[in-house]
Amino acid sequence: MAESRQLCTFVVDGLLLGIDVRQVQEVFRSQEMTAVPLADPSVAGLLNLRGQIVTAIDLRTRLGLGPRPDGIDPMHVVIRTDDGAVSLLVDEIGDVIESGDDVLERPPETLVGGVRRMIQGVYKLAGRLLLVLDTETALTFDVVRG
């Protein structure tokens, strides 16, 4: 019997994405961030979360998608990693859904670029695909040496 899995879902540029709910520390509305000079373009800034400095990663930029439309503030999905908390900036928060690992499929060939390499697999939902985000890959940055 396959194990059941709970996923916290969110939307980024129309894509329904999910991560294991056990990775999620908290979710909240947009908050003021401090820019980080010379950082990777997907690093939106740093925020102070009750005295803890948290790096905010814009998933639109990280996945190679278009910029967020004006007037839409991002939401923060704060996840726990081995290196501490990281905030993923998303367009909107979805529901927590439960699905069995036996129905997880390979990412479709239509996914290209940054999106494809950061997706672990896909769940088919009623009328929609849920892309499971590989947070480890999404948070790994190539170091450019000069």
Cα 32 to its chain centre, rounded Å, is 19
pLDDT tens figures, 12-66:
999 999 999 999 999 999 889 999 999 999 999 999 999 999 999 999 999 988 8
| Domains of the chain, CATH where assigned | 4-137 (2.40.50.180)
pLDDT tens figures, 73-116:
999 999 999 989 999 999 999 999 998 767 888 888 887 776 78
Least confident of 55-64, 116-125, 137-146: 137-146
pLDDT score at 145: 40
Q: What is the dihedral of CA 96, 94, 67, 88, to 10 degrees?
A: -40
Identify whether the C-beta of residue 107 lies closer than 8 Å to the C-beta of residue 119.
yes
